[in-house]
Amino acid sequence: MFVPFKEILKDAYSNKYAVGAFNCLSLENAMGAIQAAEELRSPIIIQLAEVQFPYSPMEKMAPVFIESAEKASIPVCVHLDHGQSLETCVRAMKLGFQSIMYDGANLPLEENIRNTKEIVRIARALNVDIEAELGKVGNANSEQDNVSDIFTDVDESAYFIKETAVDALAIAIGNLHGKYVATPQLNIERLQEINNRNRLPLVLHGGSGTSFEDFKSCIHNGICKINVATAIQIAVTNKLEKYFKTVSNPNYIDMKYQMVEASKEAVIEHMLLFESNGKA
Ligand code: 13P
């Protein structure tokens, strides 16, 4: 069933767990993710990022996401991840995405605020919820992004939230997208400061490869949405590699089942860490 982003996050924030937001690039990813959520009775966010459109076009994936959400027996939110322009965000709203992340993190603060505010204004009219990013969640394979001066500033976070009235804020505390070279050490103190100052649902991007301890500290200190993409892709790739190595007569249908199964297993593993099981 469709449940609004704000509602899913409100429950997670009050009850100190996180909802997994899983990037689904295929039908198999989406099927596996929803099966995992139903099996664990967990709410779930399924999402697609703009950088993923070249191989998973939004217009083709939207009907899959929406049908999955409508038919599911647990709360599902269909979310656009890292929308890079107003045009993309509006396209997603028209397709039925219930929430949008506008990513203006690379822009100067005032420009990020201006753009985010404009998107919030449109979203409110259409009953769509908005996540924005402050600080910069970079890439694990970029040396430039492995530095602390891209962390979210506490004072700026309060100013940004007051100005834009967003529903959730993605923060940078040492988290990075992609495959970490070494397990990251998140700055939990910074997270606590941001949470104490704002009391707004916070989002952790770059969930794949985070340590058990950091996940726990995050979900008990205001992080109530955790994005996971790379871990699912790795799980599917590894499963297929094993399948082709061990099966003498591989076939396409079995391969598709393997992909669904691997997606499901990866999502289950993360939901248990996020303590969202049994919350639906
Ligand atoms: P990972 O690929 O590192 O899990 O990051 C996912 C993400 O944050 C998507 O926005």
The pLDDT tens digits for 157-166 are: 999 999 999 9
- Residue 260 maps to a domain: yes
Q: How far is the CA of 248 from the centre of ligand 1 (A)?
A: 35
- Residue 231 maps to a domain: yes
CATH number at residue 186: 3.20.20.70
pLDDT in tens, 114-133: 999 999 999 999 999 999 99
| Residue 198 pLDDT | 98
- What is the rounded CA–CA span in Å between residue 130 and residue 165? 9
| Residue 22 pLDDT | 98
- What is the rounded CA–CA span in Å between residue 124 and residue 59? 22
Q: What are phi and psi of 55, to 5 degrees?
A: -110, -15
- Residue 141's pLDDT band, with cuts at 50, 70 and 90, is confident
- Residue 25 maps to a domain: yes
Residue that is written with structure tokens 């599902």 in the block: 76
Q: What is the mean pLDDT of the chain?
A: 96
Tell whether the model's pLDDT for residue 146 goes beyond 80.
no
Tell whether the model's pLDDT for residue 153 goes beyond 80.
yes
Instruction: Give the tokens for residue 183.
Output: 């397990």
Q: Is 162 exposed, middle or buried (0-12, 13-18, 19+ CB in 10 A)?
A: exposed
The average pLDDT across 238-250 equals 97
Mutate to test the pocket of ligand 1, among 79, 173, 177, 225 (most ligand atoms within 8 A of CB): 177
Q: How far is the CA of 227 from the centre of ligand 1 (A)?
A: 5
Of 81, 129, 153, 214, the active-site residue reads: 81
| Residue 204 pLDDT | 98
The average pLDDT across 180-206 equals 95
Q: Is residue 145 annotated as a catalytic residue, yes or no?
A: no
Q: How far is the CA of 39 from the centre of ligand 1 (A)?
A: 23
Kindly state the DSSP code that residue 234 receives in the 8-state scheme: H
- Residue 138 maps to a domain: yes
> What is the extent of the structural domain holding 48?
5-274
Q: How far is the CA of 257 from the centre of ligand 1 (A)?
A: 24
CA-wise closest residue to 29 among 224, 229, 238: 229
Pocket of ligand 1 (CB under 6 A): 23, 49, 81-82, 177-178, 205-208, 227-231
- Residue 93 maps to a domain: yes
- What is the rounded CA–CA span in Å between residue 211 and residue 157? 25
Mutate to test the pocket of ligand 1, among 23, 56, 273 (most ligand atoms within 8 A of CB): 23
Q: How far is the CA of 44 from the centre of ligand 1 (A)?
A: 15
**Is the four-CA dihedral 160, 162, 163, 165 of positive or negative sign?**
positive
| Residue 145 pLDDT | 65
- Residue 280 maps to a domain: no
Q: How many domains does the chain have?
A: 1
| Residue 180 pLDDT | 87
CA dihedral 120, 34, 13, 148 (to 10 degrees): -70
- What is the rounded CA–CA span in Å between residue 167 and residue 213? 27
Ligand 1 atom having least distance to the Cα of 228: 4
pLDDT in tens, 12-64: 999 999 999 999 999 999 999 999 999 999 999 999 999 999 999 999 999 99
Q: Are 18 and 221 in contact (CB under 8 A)?
A: no
- Take atom 9 of ligand 1 and give the residue whose Cα is closest: 227
- Residue 21 maps to a domain: yes
Comparing 118-132, 133-147, 194-208, 217-231, which segment has the lowest mean pLDDT?
Answer: 133-147
**Is the four-CA dihedral 12, 155, 211, 145 of positive or negative sign?**
positive
- Residue 190 maps to a domain: yes
Mutate to test the pocket of ligand 1, among 47, 205, 215, 225 (most ligand atoms within 8 A of CB): 205
Query: What residues does 112 pair with on adjacent strands?
Result: none
Q: What are phi and psi of 16, to 5 degrees?
A: 55, 55
Ligand 1 atom having least distance to the Cα of 101: 10
- What is the rounded CA–CA span in Å between residue 187 and residue 192? 9
- What is the rounded CA–CA span in Å between residue 218 and residue 188? 7
Ligand 1 atom having least distance to the Cα of 208: 4
